[in-house]
Amino acid sequence: MAINKLSIYHIIVEDIKTKILKGELKSGDMVPSENQLSREYDTSRVTVRKALSVLINEGYIFTVQGKGNFVSDPNLYEYEFQFKNEEHSLDTKLISVEIVKPTTDIRIHMQHHSNDKIVEIKSYLTYDGDIIGYALKYMPYRPKEPILEKEFHYINLEETADNNFGETVKIKAESADEEISKILNIILGYPILSLETKIENENNDIIGYEKIYLIGDRYQIIGE
């Protein structure tokens, strides 16, 4: 096997990875600034940014402009999950599935600190065929590792009863906004009851985030 001469940015990448793996840099910690790293490695800022881009791309850190780069939560590189319907008359109808860049809001909800794109699933909630709501689901998306030939499975969001993981639910009364009103064919400001769900694993990491918008004057959610 050939021994590759490490370029400066590779060295920086390996150093920071090592610090993260050793625990010297923990989740949420700020990585030394670009200027600091430039001085530390006696290199240009461009080279430092090249190194950071690699780390961002691999999910080790994430960037917040004006603040710095921060260590991500431990990543999952495989996402297998599906969405499941409630076992009631309430049903869903797929609107769209997209792989997108997550918004800040979504990232916060999902505690998604990496640079990874996420899967967004939009669907209608129907009851006896009628659209009574709108559901938004978010999941981290990751391509397979080059070596690993695995498939991504999106596991049922609803089925959480039989697992050991936790979930948090928020129930809100909202007014239909432009997007939602369009989607649900209701007027702006129309009251909406929303259910926001965070799916967590045994480490309390959020592995999924879902928000369901129910047309507010038609349904009332009673839950826990």
Partner DNA sequence: TAGTGGTCTAGACCACTAG
Q: Which of residues 156-195 bind a second copy (CB under 8 A)?
A: 156-195
Over the window 7 to 46, marking each residue x when it contacts a second copy by CB under 8 A and - when it does not, the resulting string is: ---------------------------------------x
Q: Is 70 exposed, middle or buried (0-12, 13-18, 19+ CB in 10 A)?
A: middle
Instruction: Measure the CA–CA gap between 106 and 136, rounded to whole angstroms.
Output: 11
Query: Which H/E stretch holds residue 118?
Result: strand 118-127
The single residue among 16, 20, 31, 131 that binds DNA, judged by CB under 7 A, is 31
Nearer to a second copy, 37 or 206 (CB): 206
Distance CA 42, CA 137 (A): 45
With CB under 5 to 8 Å by kind, the binding choice for 9 among a second copy, DNA, none is DNA
How far apart are alpha carbons 11 and 33 in whole angstroms? 16
201 binds DNA (CB under 7 A): no
43 interacts with DNA by CB under 7 A: yes
Q: How far is the CB of 17 from DNA (least distance, A)?
A: 16
Secondary structure of residue 133 in the 3-state scheme: strand
| Under rule CB under 7 A, residue 55 binds DNA | no
Question: Residue 82 binds which one of DNA, a second copy, none, with CB within 5 to 8 A depending on kind?
Answer: a second copy
Phi first, then psi: what are they for 112, rounded to 5°? -95, 100
If one asks whether residue 119 binds a second copy (CB under 8 A), the answer comes out as yes
Cα torsion through 119, 171, 173, 222, rounded to 10: 120
**197 near 166, Cβ under 8 Å?**
no
The two three-digit tokens of residue 125, written as one number: 């909630």
- What residues between 135 and 174 interact with DNA by CB under 7 A? none
Burial class (CB in 10 A: 0-12, 13-18, 19+), 71: buried
List 69, 72, 92, 123, residue binding DNA (CB under 7 A): 69
State the binding partner of 54 from DNA, a second copy, none, CB within 5 to 8 A by kind: none
Among 17, 50, 122, 218, binds DNA (CB under 7 A): 50
Choose which of 14, 24, 28, 36 interacts with DNA (CB under 7 A). Answer: 36
Which residues contribute to the site for DNA (CB under 7 A)? Answer: 7-10, 31, 33-36, 42-47, 49-50, 63-69
